[in-house]
A and B are shown apart, each in its own frame.
Chain A
Amino acid sequence: MEPILEVKNLRKSFKGFTLKDVSFSLPRGFIMGFIGPNGAGKSTTIKLIMNLLKRDGGEIKVFGFDNIKHEKEIKEKIGFVYEESYFYGELTISEMKRVIAPLYKNWDEEAFTKYLKEFDLPAKRKIKSLSRGMKIKFALAIALSHGAELLIMDEPTSGLDPLIRSELLDIFSSLIQDENKSIFFSTHITSDLDKVADYITLINKGEIIFSTTKDEIIENYGIVKGSKDILSEDIKKYFVGIKENKFGFEGLVKDKKQIKKLLKDTVIVEKPTLEDVMLYFTKEEFKCSV
């Protein structure tokens, strides 16, 4: 089946930052977490997908169509939630809905009313008086009320308290029960993805480090802990990154079976969290020549 989102060799240059040949694809019915440190290129990639920025090169296909040539048709089926609320603060929830609803051919008023109720959003309240969590929920209610098949979210959970974050993650998980829907979700809070993501794409300094399934990371990658004595130059080659202290070392490997075979009982191998993975891949002082 054709991927719902496909990015190939995407390039964009700014003064002091370049997005270098970014490529990844998201199959239908899955959640992809797009992770990386601040300034890695996550928002730039999302803005390029949404045609808010002009690409210098490469290709972006959404639902199999070029994102610029078929911009309007594609955006009919995209729901978006950004880190900041860009709705007009001067308008009430129902006024903003009155403006947005006619722009979508498949607007579902019943669904919108249901989400307002479910998210506890007062229709007569001005948007500027809503809390950050409520603004995100309003954006989500809009995104879910026009039959969107792809949800694009840029740091939707950043700055939210754990309770609302968990509530939002539950909503994402329930959404994906509909196999036709997919979510592309950028965040630097990787713990959110431990719960919901199927695919992980890591970007750093404008380059894709990897794009793979979360299972592949959890099953194959490993955090290795042991004494510094065993860290020969040959052994270091198996590591993505190593953190040393006076008691020993801790490092990330891509193939935990291989390192277990090699070092046997001299080391402890644990499952990595996504935060570990991001840290070892992106932090300069931990890096090894792999």
Chain B
Amino acid sequence: MFSLILKDILISKKILLLTAAFLIVWVPTFQNFAAVVIMVGMAYMGLIVTSSADETNKADILLNSLPLRRYEIVLAKYLSIFVYSAIGIAIYLLVAAATKVLGLPIHVYPINFKAVIYGVLAVSFLNGIYLPLMFKFGHGFSGIMYIILIFGFFYGISYVIRLFKKFVNYDWFQSIVSFIMNQSDTVKMLFIIALALIVMTVSCLLSVKFYKNREF
């Protein structure tokens, strides 16, 4: 299975490096959202490039002729998304460290653990919706659908915020909010990690079910 992740990285290495460079240049625009943007951007580019290669080469025929179970092929795709995100963060941290060491007059927005966890949640939600669709309908489905999802996702966030504002005067809502706010940062982070894990698990199970029924 790790071979498949290696394969995806070999295919997308140049694009991943270019994407990371592009995103890092634009980081000041995103300010505190830097981690989320880098992680979502890298996962998006990695997935689009490898999906396009899978489609061009009709790779499902090759992969399903090798001694691999279908769930391994699916799982490898899910893992490689986080590998792309990790590569992006690693490159950002390296650039940030180099900027500091060289004393360049550039403001580097710090990326902390909390920011990375929010990134994981965003990547999980986006790909958790996208990947089952890809495994159901094939790689050709990729490009445009993913962009629609990204816009839908950010629109969805603003919608949720508006919804929160509506509920803010209700007692039950206030008690939920105060319960969450009273928790320590660690508990809040654990809650987010658990949420991301649930989304990815449900999504992965759906993808496996869809992919097992595919014919090539």
Measuring CB to CB, which residues of chain A are less than 8 angstroms from any residue of chain B?
47, 50-54, 71-73, 75-76, 78, 80, 82, 84, 86-91, 95, 98-104
Asked whether, in the complex, the Cβ of A50 is within 8 Å of the Cβ of B64, the reply is yes
Cross-chain contact of B215 among A54, A80, A82, A104 (Cβ < 8 A): A54
Cross-chain contact of B66 among A47, A73, A84, A100 (Cβ < 8 A): A100
Asked whether, in the complex, the Cβ of A52 is within 8 Å of the Cβ of B65, the reply is yes
Asked whether, in the complex, the Cβ of B67 is within 8 Å of the Cβ of A86, the reply is no
CA gap between A241 and B77 in the complex, in Å? 54
Known: A52-B216, A89-B56. A72 touches B64 (CB 8 A): no
CA gap between A202 and B119 in the complex, in Å? 58
Given contacts A54-B215, A78-B65, A103-B67, 7 further A-B contacts (CB under 8 A): A52-B65, A73-B67, A75-B65, A80-B65, A82-B65, A90-B11, A99-B7
Asked whether, in the complex, the Cβ of B11 is within 8 Å of the Cβ of A88, the reply is yes
Asked whether, in the complex, the Cβ of B61 is within 8 Å of the Cβ of A82, the reply is yes
Q: Which of the listed residues B10, B61, B65, B68 has the most CB atoms from chain A within 10 Å of its own CB? A: B65
CA gap between A73 and B68 in the complex, in Å? 9
Asked whether, in the complex, the Cβ of A71 is within 8 Å of the Cβ of B65, the reply is no
Known: A47-B216, A54-B215, A88-B53. A103 touches B64 (CB 8 A): no
Asked whether, in the complex, the Cβ of A86 is within 8 Å of the Cβ of B59, the reply is yes
Nearest-neighbor residue (CB-CB) of A74 within chain B: B67
- B190 on interface, CB distance cutoff 8 Å: no
* List of B residues within 8 angstroms of A88 by Cβ: 7, 11, 53, 57, 59
Per-residue CB contact flags for chain B residues 95-130 toward chain A (1 = under 8 Å, else 0) read: 000000000000000000000000000000000000
Nearest-neighbor residue (CB-CB) of B215 within chain A: A53
CA gap between A88 and B9 in the complex, in Å? 13
* List of B residues within 8 angstroms of A71 by Cβ: 69
CA gap between A78 and B58 in the complex, in Å? 20
Asked whether, in the complex, the Cβ of A102 is within 8 Å of the Cβ of B65, the reply is no
* List of A residues within 8 angstroms of B4 by Cβ: 99
Nearest-neighbor residue (CB-CB) of A96 within chain B: B7
- B144 on interface, CB distance cutoff 8 Å: no
Q: How far is the CB of A154 from chain B (nearest CB, A)?
A: 10
Asked whether, in the complex, the Cβ of B66 is within 8 Å of the Cβ of A103, the reply is yes
Cross-chain contact of A102 among B3, B11, B57 (Cβ < 8 A): B3
Asked whether, in the complex, the Cβ of A76 is within 8 Å of the Cβ of B62, the reply is no
Known: A84-B58, A86-B59. A99 touches B10 (CB 8 A): yes
Q: How far is the CB of B87 from chain A (nearest CB, A)?
A: 18
CA gap between A90 and B166 in the complex, in Å? 52
- B79 on interface, CB distance cutoff 8 Å: no
